[in-house]
Structure 1
Amino acid sequence: MKRQGGFTLIEVLVAMAIFAIAAIAVINATTSNIRSLSILKDKTFADWVASNKLNDTEYLSFKDGQKGTEKEAGIEWYWRLKKLKTEDSDFYAWEVTVSRSSDLTHPEAVMRRYVAVQESGK
């Protein structure tokens, strides 16, 4: 009797197990990528808002602790400016905190701009 060629049941099951493990790994990597993209998108928009506010300090008058909102990419962002002392008395820093939450407890961006005291005629 001639033996027919083909795969045994065990070989098929092992191949299917290997394929399943590889598919799960690809799905996990894709899910992680999508999650990271969403976080990076929010961080980028928050950085833009923070940068805009720091640029505004050069041309507009702000008070220490001033708060506000700005719409960027259809999202309402909350920001707060703080005027910070530095070790060098000739300089101070504006620090802006930006968050999607109004209490600013989980900031998406925090940036600083250092300013010479003689520029501070505001």
Structure 2
Amino acid sequence: MRSRGFTLIEVLVAMAIFALAAIAVINATTSNIHSLSILEQKTLADWVAANKLNDAQYQDLKDGAQGTETQAGVEWYWRIKKLKTEDKDFSALEVTVSRSSDFSHPEAVLRSYFEVQS
């Protein structure tokens, strides 16, 4: 009885299939890591925006107020705008948060509505 092994073609085809599968796994992992980094930055920016909205409501920060805040070792720039709404009894505060001082690429924009005090 003669034992039979794999031919060279069969081994090459198996290696090609494995290589394609490995490349797909590496691409998926890389994409996941990149998305996780973006999600982390967005979350930190949202926290800064929420903090500044609270500050604006309880410390009476004025329209146009801006500054910096450090969150998780990252310096964030924030700016507050007061917006008019269609209903004259309500106004809105909008906080924009960015990693750049010119706010060219905002990471988070959070808006809160409140009743205008007469």
Is the pair's TM-score, using the shorter chain for normalization, greater than 0.5?
yes
Aligned twin of 1:112: 111
Q: Deviations over 1:57-87 (max 9, x none)?
A: 1111222111100010000000000000000
Q: Deviations over 1:24-80 (max 9, x none)?
A: 000000000000000000000000000000111111122211110001000000000
Q: Tell me, which stretches of 5 or more residues in structure 1 are unaligned? A: none
- State the 4+ residue runs in structure 1 displaced beyond 6 angstroms: none
Q: Distance in 2 between matches of 1:42 and 1:105?
A: 16
1:27-106 map, 5 Å: 27-106=26-105
Number of residue equivalences: 118
Larger deviation, residues 2-11 vs 103-112: 2-11
Aligned twin of 2:13: 14
Q: Which amino acid aligns with 1:76?
A: E
Q: What is the RMSD computed on CA atoms of the aligned residues?
A: 1.1
State whether residues 49 and 97 of structure 2, in contact with CA within 8 Å, keep that contact through their aligned partners in structure 1.
Answer: yes
| TM score, norm. by length of structure 1 | 0.93
Give 1:4 shift. 3.0
Kindly, what percent of the aligned residue pairs are identical?
75
Q: Tell me, which stretches of 5 or more residues in structure 2 are unaligned? A: none
